[in-house]
Structure 1
């Protein structure tokens, strides 16, 4: 991924790195202006990204390194160093929308995302630069904040290709064979209102306000074409994607993602994460498949389990994260002895017991207050990227005897095809419509 040069003004860096299509469409502007006139809000086809920094924006040169380029071979937010905060959103296309509506939405989202990834507002007019008698283009809560490592990753769900309305957008023949709703798994208690969706956006940032701002404004842009189906806030990453990141902990207090695929492991990414040019369909080459699972943790029940039992359930030492067979966190576990229970989480999920299957994890903790029993409504918002959905299905079925299942419930689910990265001047998923 390209990053802006240190010391460059934000809009100069964005011009070099993010020459997006020529501004928001009329539909996108209308979405921003709902509730008021659109007069004075037009960006224009030639506005581009060099339209000036909105009043109140002040980003010091030392903050420039926190911006990740929107354009590239792969979408940002997959192998990018995992940020501290997440706002994940799932959308459904509106009834009676057509192919032109979908393409214009993806173009508008690409334009706005390329700007926000550089710490800019969704348009050159921004939050305070337009008519005082019309709603602003940008909601403004990120004014003065740097990019904060914002990445926006977009995916296409099974229903986008064909649903009860039929082949709405003329793309049914291009649906990947593996892109279908995940099968039922043991322990599923899924809420249909917190599952699935035609489109998804994963917004990750080191500042939660930056991530929320991004989803809020992309939702406004979608008005009349797509509606928000459900969303999830996350904090405290539960995996790492670089060697420089320490392994984080989940809400059970254990290190999570010790053996995750890392960004510098090109061979593992090629074999397990990126869709190949030899895979079908061709338009998805360079992309991946995203699985999201909302996993509720029975926190109060877990907290009453003795430490030795917790270690045995996970298969690792809670303090250091080392396998119970000995060594340190990164020591390969020895499954030949009796130190590691064969139904421990680590044993069942390990590639040695799954024909070498690996996935790239990118999950987050969540706490949604408390439930009607006064218990924490909390858990893991699991996100994984894989070259083929069958990888996740195989692993999840393997976990049917996991001792940890007594303390968790899967309450949300979704799968999306994640297109390859965007070329400058193009838009998300353009190859699908070629």
Structure 2
């Protein structure tokens, strides 16, 4: 099939006359009987994500809905939600057209779920001989400010895979090994990632579960992480949340309402190299294990000296209020706030969007807990890398933490309308 402006990837055009993508489950059965339809579902084909000719009823009111369409993806500058389900995927197909088709199907499903609708024909009422299009655990729940944000890892651009090697942005670099890293390969990397944030954990889990189901046969989850209790704020009026060490985390974060700061530090500019990434961003994800039991035995003064803030108010050393301008030289040279501050790193600034996690206990009865750190920036080389080099070399907090998982992704611009899809410009 020849390429065209609507489907530049060369993937088969599954659009129906009314603008919905893909045939209905009943149409498939009509073409080839129940065996064909069930086979398509099992293979994770387009039928798993399509919307039927009849519009489905919304799961709940749209009062807590975050708009899906726009120049930037939601879930970056969006006010941070309470819950996270983050998943990194390996692409298992070697077919570029199938990958492009998957991204289109995921986009259509994301449009529905972020609006509080079930995927496709829903979780019930369809053909008894076929699995439902939607897994159903979000039925009756509000949209809960669900956002879905996708990213592309460096491995997606590897030579000989999808013909994308010449389209890899210069800023999408592999992270160097930092002192103290103890990275687990099974918790690192990935061809694709999806960040699902919501105020209801079941809504976030439902979204990732449905996307994984749609991708069956073309993708497989490489690793995932649940998070709770947001550890950074992107809106100045919100109370700054606390991390698992009990300290306020994100006081001086880039505000999602500060358009000038976002343009300077977060959004990729038109002149930054790769045209398809314009209005996108770059994401670094790090799983940081906290040695909670050791930290809990540290004296209060030592804890405050390590962070450079007091534990109650969150004020910088020598100041009275949390948002007072810090006097860095009043802090110890090894204080976390001092070493992470832009003034210490030639102005390097990132938008932090982290979540706490607890994943049970290890074999010694210690909590497997910490911070799932998410950082968005215009360029990883001038954002996360210099800041982490400073912290890895000198931060007193390193005695109590260890980076055990790591990944970096190019986050494309937003989906502008119903004809657009995640990463469309990459395949054009």
Q: Hey, what's the Cα distance between the residues in 2 that align with 1:429 and 1:25?
A: 25
CA change 1:80–1:23 in 2 (3 A) is farther
Equivalence for 2:374: 383
Q: Aligned to 2:408, what secondary structure does the other structure show? A: strand
SS of the residue corresponding to residue 92 of structure 1 reads: strand
Offset, 1:65 = 2.1
User: Contact 2:85/2:195 (CA < 8 Å) preserved in 1?
Assistant: yes
Count of residues in correspondence between the two structures: 398
Residue in 2 aligned with 1:371? 362
Q: Are 2:337 and 1:346 equivalent residues in the alignment?
A: yes
- Aligned in 2, Cα 1:255/1:32: closer, same or farther, shift over 3 Å? farther
Give unmatched runs, 5+ long, in structure 2.
Answer: 1-17, 29-36
Residue 276 (structure 2) pairs with residue 283 (structure 1): yes
Q: Deviations over 1:293-325 (max 9, x none)?
A: 000000000000000110000000000000012
Q: Does 1:130 align with 2:121?
A: no
**Alpha carbons 2:95, 2:162 under 8 Å: kept:** yes
Aligned partners of 1:25 and 1:292: how far apart in 2? 37
Aligned to 2:80: 82
Looking at structure 2, the residues matched to 100 and 25 of structure 1 have their Cα atoms a distance apart, in angstroms, of: 21
**Cα distance 1:158–1:132, how it changes in 2: closer, same or farther (>3 A)?**
same
Q: Give CA-to-partner distance per residue, 1:9-40, whole Å, 9 cap, x none.
A: xxxxxxxxxx985258999x87983299x9xx
Seen in structure 2, the aligned counterparts of structure 1 residues 45 and 242 have a Cα distance that, compared at 3 Å, is closer
1:340 positional shift: 1.0
What residue in structure 2 maps to residue 396 of structure 1?
A: 388
Secondary structure at the residue paired with 2:177? coil
Q: Give yes or no for contact 1:20–1:111 (8 Å, CA) kept in 2.
A: no
- 1:236-385 mapped onto 2 (5 Å cutoff): 236-336=229-329, 339-385=330-376
Structure 2: distance between partners of 1:30 and 1:200 = 28
- Corresponding residue for 2:174? 181
User: Are residue 68 (structure 1) and residue 66 (structure 2) matched?
Assistant: yes
Q: 1:126 to 1:148 in 2, by over 3 A?
A: same
Counterpart-to-counterpart distance in 1, 2:163 and 2:57: 39
- Is the Cα contact below 8 Å between 1:24 and 1:111 reproduced in 2? no
2:220 corresponds to: 227
**2:91 maps to what in 1?**
93
Range that drifts further, 401-410 or 352-361: 352-361
Given that residues 49 and 133 in structure 2 are in contact (C-alpha distance below 8 angstroms), is that contact kept between their aligned partners in structure 1?
no
- TM-score normalised according to structure 1 size: 0.88
Q: Deviations over 1:173-226 (max 9, x none)?
A: 000112132110011000000000000000000000000000001000001111
Q: Secondary structure at the match of 2:99?
A: helix
Contact 1:23 1:43 (8 Å CA) reproduced: no
Please, what TM-score do these two structures have when normalized by structure 2? 0.89
Question: What displacement does 1:327 show?
Answer: 2.5
Say whether 1:150 aligns with 2:149: no
Displacement of 1:357: 1.1
Q: 1:156 to 1:42 in 2, by over 3 A?
A: closer
Matches of 1:32 and 1:245, distance apart in 2? 46
Q: Whole-Å Cα distance in 2 between the matches of residues 420 and 192 of structure 1? A: 28
1:429 pairs, out of 413, 423, 426, with 423
* CA spacing shift, 1:31–1:252, aligned 2, 3 Å: farther
**Structure 1 residues 45 and 292: CA distance shift in structure 2, 3 A:** closer
Alpha carbons 2:49, 2:108 under 8 Å: kept: no
Gaps (5+ residues) in structure 1? Answer: 1-18
Contact 2:73 2:413 in 1 (8 A): yes
Does the Cα contact within 8 Å between 2:342 and 2:348 map onto a contact in 1? yes
Partner of 1:416: 409
